[in-house]
Structure 1
Amino acid sequence: MTTEPFTVCKYGADAEGTHDFADIPNFNESVYFNFVDPISQLGGLVRIGNRPNLGYSETSVQLTLPGGAIAFRAGRTPCETNDGFSGQGLEITIKEPTRTAEITYRDTVARVVHPSLMAENGRIALKNAPSEECEISLSYEASSPMFVINSDGDGDCTPGSSVIASDHYEQFGHLSGTIRVGNRTWVLDKVTSFRDHSWGPREWASYTGEWLAGWLADGTAFSAYGEYEKSGIRVSAGAVLTTDGVAHPITDYTVHTDYAGESTYNGRHVGIITAEGLPTIVVDGAIRHFVPVTQRTEDRAVRMAQMTVDLAGGHGGWAVAEFLRPIRP
């Protein structure tokens, strides 16, 4: 008996594989998973992006550890194909399309006690940080159908003029398994998780905007993105997934912050989400981890300030968020 695809968008099981890249010089196909465990205060993200026309794949493994430190690894692996997602000891495999996946990692990570050092001197911070063995073995199970963030359903990764990906879908779920860093092991049991899959052209532009993926205590989940166009007009996209599996398109996502790209931030995360058919959602929480990383190209650079957020001390919900700010190359 065939299981029906778990999706409410144009993408189904056939989209879970890799895609043709021949005619797109700056092609990128990436898979991304994050998670937040409000009990242990462990969080993390893993990502693999294939850039076969540029001759490499890029890998990121980042764990936010209890107490404020991070465990981090990022690197490139020579690759001129687009056959799967593996590199630097990380492998991500879709087991049952639209429903389940496996994540494994076997390699080292750098333990960075003060994540603010990642802002300006990331390579030096990682080089000087102690290295620890890390093992990750996680199973992902979808809790929501796959969805797209733009109400017109076109699959674009962002609502504005940014060139991130021509095709993109997202999904909420749970992760179970184990993570070991050094001599400490955590067991995850259906921890909240978010994933996405995108393919097409990708350019790291000079964004001014914010991104958010979060969960309310009642099981409601949301993915929101807001960006300022060059004209100064703000555009928003995303979806709120209610517990009945319905995706409500976001019509406005506003973030109240004075963050301008610094290596530290002492404020709260205050965001307001308006979605079709739902009451306004206020995402007001304390920032537990704040990790500023920088993505550079030849003529531009963007600061991606990544954070975990506790809503009402973690009792009201929790989130993973980013502030995106252009900085000097």
Structure 2
Amino acid sequence: MSKYIMRPEHEFPHQPDQSSNFNESVYTNAFNSASPVGGWMRLGNRVNEGYAELSVCLYLPDGRIACQFQRPAISTNEKFEAGGITYEVNVPLRSVSMTYRGDVIITRDPDALRDPQKLFAHGERLPAHVHWTHQAQSPVHGGEPADDQVQTFYGRDFSLGHFNQHSAAKGFIEVGGERWEIDGHGWRDHSWGPRYWQVIYCYRLYIGNFSNGDGFMLLKITDAAGVSRRQGVLLVDGRYEEVIDMDIMTDWTDRQDPASWRLAVRTAERKAIIEGEVIQLAPLRNRRKTDEGILVSRIAEGFTRLKWDGREGYGMTEYIERIESEALTGYPL
């Protein structure tokens, strides 16, 4: 019997519970196979707080990052549409599309994202139109826990329901007068339930695709007591293989950002060594005011070139951790 319940209706918005921080989030990324261009989009409905979290981050082939982050007002959780983003389910569990129309802020220096207030006040802005469609290349992984004993992906206080899927991705990115085609691969996820970024003490997430359709989604998540879980999947020949064990070695920049990494992964079927080189990193942060004060998390989002068994691909490196006493809680692990 499966540990998770996954039905076609889970593709669509859920009835919010009474949690003040209920969040329902849809995320897609997409990268061209022939050239290093792509990005990710996310919309997280926080209807009980009256707004959505909108994120668009595009990695352009000349090294620029084009991005937008907003909190558009919403009054319903009946659709994934706010601030210029729309998300549509074409065929449940098989195909979705995501689109953004609106301005983006352009930076040639990713370090400018460390001071977003200044960048958003004075940075160059250009009109953008981004659209891609995902066609499933894997089963859906995850869902709603079948009972109270099931270990959820991120924990029961961060997105109780969660599923994800690897895909073929086609579309385009237009910024100003320039256009780049997307004909490659991507990954998507959908989650719902109570969610604060600061609930995560430390995690390392790796997502990747290769031109033959193989891929991976690998997570190491650590709590404040230092206890870690390693989980995720390798996608091989259209099937997911659950991870049994995983070791991580990260090379860091002087700014304590991930520059490259090496993963040793084991499933019941195989052992794999996967390497990643971060091409462009968006060093983001999230702040939340609580009764204890202002809690801050580092969210490093890196467009990454991948190697596995002689094959090259593209994907994302995501390092999230709390910042306490001006120190990253997970660094240098």
TM-score greater than 0.5 by the shorter chain: yes
Deviation of the 1:155 alpha carbon: 7.3
Q: CA RMSD in A?
A: 2.6
Structure 1 segments, 4+ long, off by >3 Å, are 149-155, 262-267, 312-315
- The residue aligned with 2:314 is 318
Deviation of the 1:152 alpha carbon: 8.7
- Amino acid of the structure 2 residue aligned with 1:12: R
Work out whether residues 33 and 185 of structure 2, in 8 Å CA contact, stay in contact via their aligned partners in 1: no
TM-score, normalised with respect to structure 2: 0.87
Change (3 A) 1:144 1:210: same
- Amino acid of the structure 2 residue aligned with 1:156: T
TM-score, normalised with respect to structure 1: 0.88
Deviation of the 1:55 alpha carbon: 0.8
Moved more, 315-324 or 169-178: 315-324
Alignment of 1:211-250 (within 5 A): 211-243=205-237, 245-250=238-243
Gap regions ≥5 residues in structure 1 = 1-6
- The residue aligned with 1:3 is none
SS in 2 for 1:256: strand
Which one of the candidate residues 90, 97, 120 is aligned to 1:95?
Answer: 90
Alignment of 1:49-88 (within 5 A): 49-88=44-83
- The residue aligned with 2:263 is 271
Work out whether residues 308 and 321 of structure 1, in 8 Å CA contact, stay in contact via their aligned partners in 2: yes
Deviation of the 1:241 alpha carbon: 1.9
SS in 1 for 2:9: helix
Which one of the candidate residues 142, 149, 153 is aligned to 1:148?
Answer: 142
Deviation of the 1:315 alpha carbon: 4.2
Alignment of 1:160-239 (within 5 A): 161=155, 163-189=157-183, 191-205=184-198, 206-239=200-233
Distance 1:285 1:26 in 2: 34
Aligned residues: 316
Deviation of the 1:310 alpha carbon: 1.4
Work out whether residues 43 and 65 of structure 1, in 8 Å CA contact, stay in contact via their aligned partners in 2: yes
Deviation of the 1:259 alpha carbon: 4.4
SS in 1 for 2:93: coil
Identity %: 26
Alignment of 1:252-267 (within 5 A): 252-257=245-250, 259=252, 263=255, 265=257, 267=259
- Amino acid of the structure 1 residue aligned with 2:220: G
Distance 2:285 2:76 in 1: 27
Deviation of the 1:125 alpha carbon: 1.6
Change (3 A) 1:237 1:108: same
- The residue aligned with 2:330 is none
- The residue aligned with 1:290 is 281
Deviation of the 1:78 alpha carbon: 1.1
